[in-house]
Amino acid sequence: MTPRTASPDGLLTLDSPLGRIALHGDQHAVTRLEIATEGRLSTDGRADSPTPVLHRAATELGEYFAGSRTAFTVPVRVAGTPFQETIWQQLREIPFGEVRGYGELGRATGRATAGRAVGGAVGANPVPLLIPCHRVLASDARITGYSAGDGIPTKVWLLDHEGIAHR
């Protein structure tokens, strides 16, 4: 039996209204999306090595930022604990312009009191935007945090972009 070799990792860096974004992936899927924090990416200094999937993701993100796309179709591949993967699947189901609460996500997993664990899973999402973790708010529409980009200001921009009321 011939060992299967992994597809080479790809990287594509693009500018966005949120700052620079680094897309990571291979020939089949996006595996990570990083929004610059204080203007810096972990890949600074590394040359881009884009794949067709990363180009497709960049096109879809451009359409999203321009206001002409409300859902992403580019394939993503994420790996986490079973609980994280359950939460990430629920995030994928939140439509553009709508929100869910941390408690609501917890109840949907059968863990109604798992708000902190839900928050941890939401914050561990490796492909923000493509899996819309910014669409999760406290039950009173309050922003409690955001782990991508510059944190809460990044989430505020995304919520405003989608016309989502928040405080």
CA distance 109 to 139: 17
- Above 70 in pLDDT, residue 43? yes
Encoded tokens for 104: 């609501």
pTM of the model: 0.91
- Across the range 56-81, mean pLDDT stands at 97
Could you give all domains of the chain from N- to C-terminal order, each with its CATH number? 10-66 (3.30.160), 82-161 (1.10.10.10)
- Dump pLDDT digits (tens) for 5-25: 344 589 999 999 999 999 999
On average, the pLDDT of the chain sits at 93
pLDDT at residue 8, rounded to an integer: 57
pLDDT at residue 52, rounded to an integer: 97
Catalytic-labelled residue, pool 21, 133, 158, 159: 133
pLDDT at residue 5, rounded to an integer: 39
Would you tell me how many other CB atoms lie within 10 Å of the CB of residue 107?
14
The verdict on whether 133 is a catalytic residue reads yes
Q: Which residue has the tokens 């939401």?
A: 122
Nearest alpha-carbon partner for 33 in 118, 136, 129:
129
- Above 90 in pLDDT, residue 113? no
